[in-house]
Structure formats: C-alpha cells, structure tokens
Amino acid sequence: MNNHDASKIKLYGFNNITKSLSFNMYDICYTKTVEDRNAYISYIDEQYNAERLTNILKNVTEIIGANVLSIAKQDYDPQGASVTILICEEPIQTPETIVAHLDKSHITVHTYPEYHPDNGVCTFRADIDVATCGEITPLRALEYLIRCFDADIMTIDYKVRGFTRDIAGRKIYNDIEINSIQNYIPSEIVNLYQMIDVNVYQEKIFHTKCKLKNFHIDNYLFGFTENDIHAGEAREIVRRLTKEMDEIFYGRNISQLF
C-alpha cells in the first residue's frame, strides 16, 4: 500500500479536507422455487440485519481511528436495514461539542435484497458510505469491508474535496498519496477480481469496479447443488447468473453490451 502519513504535514489549524469512500457490493444467488427464494431473502436479511451492520460500522470507526458520537439503526419490513453512525476524530466530552461535529463525519449503510420475478436470480446489495475530515481516512477500512462481505461485484468510489493549509499558508488539496483505489487493496484480493479503474486525477475522483474472475456454479445455488440438476439446466443457470453479473458490472442491460 502507498500510504502517506498526514501527521507529518505541519498544518495551520484543523485539517479541512473531506474524504469520502463509497463501497457498493452485490451478492448473487440462484433459487429454483418461490419457497427457496423467500428462504434466501430471509437468510440474507438475517445475516445483514441492523445489529450486525452496526457492529461492522463500529469496527470501521475503530479501524480509521475515529470515535462514535451517535448511532441510528433500523430494520425494515419486508426486508432491508440501514445504520448511520456520526463520528469525530477526537473523543467528545460535552453535548455542545457533539453538536459542533455533527456535520463533520459519518458512516452509513443501507441494504437492498431483491430478485428477478421469473428467472430465479436473487441479488443482495449493500451500500456503505464513509465520510471523514481531519487526519483520519476511510481508505484504511477498505480491506476490512471487502473481507466482511466477500462480494461477487464491488463498485468503490473515493473522492477528496476542499483543501487545508500548512503553517506557511500553502493550500494542500490531498493529504494522502493515491493514484488508484487498488493501492489500498491487498494483492491477494486484487488477483481474485477483474478490475476496471476510471480516475479523474485533477478532480481527485477515483473509481474502481470489481468482478470475481472464477465462477463455480455451486457457490451460487441456494437450497440445492449442481448434482441435483441435469447439465442443460446447469448451463442455463450459469447463463442467467453471468448475465446478471455482467449487467451489474458494466452498468447496462446485456443487449446493449454484445
């Protein structure tokens, strides 16, 4: 990783640079029956309920070196959950200070379980956003988030806004060294995914899309295995699953791709 120690920069006052990380992941599954589909949705809803998501975001807060101010969490009917955590760089003692920090930093997560009405494909999506200012950076938590969700598809965005000043008054527009989000993903994870970068360096906008390279059908079947179906059905299921993954990865319907 190509990390830069922001503490070595002698700043004039507070570090006003805002750093935002958006982590978007998809888990794809195939079910043969309505009952299995409902069971998968219930399973994934329980696996990623508000309580577990809260623990994940608390760990993110600790990893990036921040402190929790307040937590709001909610499970939804029929499915889905969301959590918002307000954070700050230093421990807070008084309500007055908390109010001053409400607009500084936050972490949110929202989940979206859904399914195709006819072809058996189910897709679980989770969106996590980490916004910080000061010396803490959300990129520290990226490896942890990837390992938490073990996703089939990931879309990761990192954006830097504003500026701060050093003690001589010179503007500093970025306090870490980065030319790709991949700099902050371990090589053993990078090797598992097909990755595409779209970066706008002059605007400090970095975008990486990831799709698992290796596909084994049994990893995507819920309630049955490949041994329970004939070869023709297996090929059709693979076609449906890969179509879903390609459409999500490229961001358009398959008829527009080929």
Question: Is residue 187 among the annotated active site residues?
Answer: no
Residues 101, 105, 122, 210: which is the catalytic one?
Answer: 105
- Pinpoint the alpha helices (H) of 142-217: 142-149, 187-190
Euclidean distance between CA atoms 256 and 258, whole angstroms: 6
Question: Is residue 110 among the annotated active site residues?
Answer: yes
- How many residues make up the chain in this entry? 258
> CA torsion angle for 222, 228, 234, 236 (degrees, to 10)?
-70
Question: Is residue 4 among the annotated active site residues?
Answer: no
Residues 29, 133, 148, 210: which is the catalytic one?
Answer: 133
Residues 20, 22, 82, 110: which is the catalytic one?
Answer: 110
Neighbours of 68 (CB within 10 A): 16
Q: Among residues 245, 246, 240, which one has the least CA distance to residue 31?
A: 240
Neighbours of 258 (CB within 10 A): 5
DSSP reduced 3-state for 195: strand
Euclidean distance between CA atoms 86 and 111, whole angstroms: 19
Active-site residues, by number, are 105, 110, 133
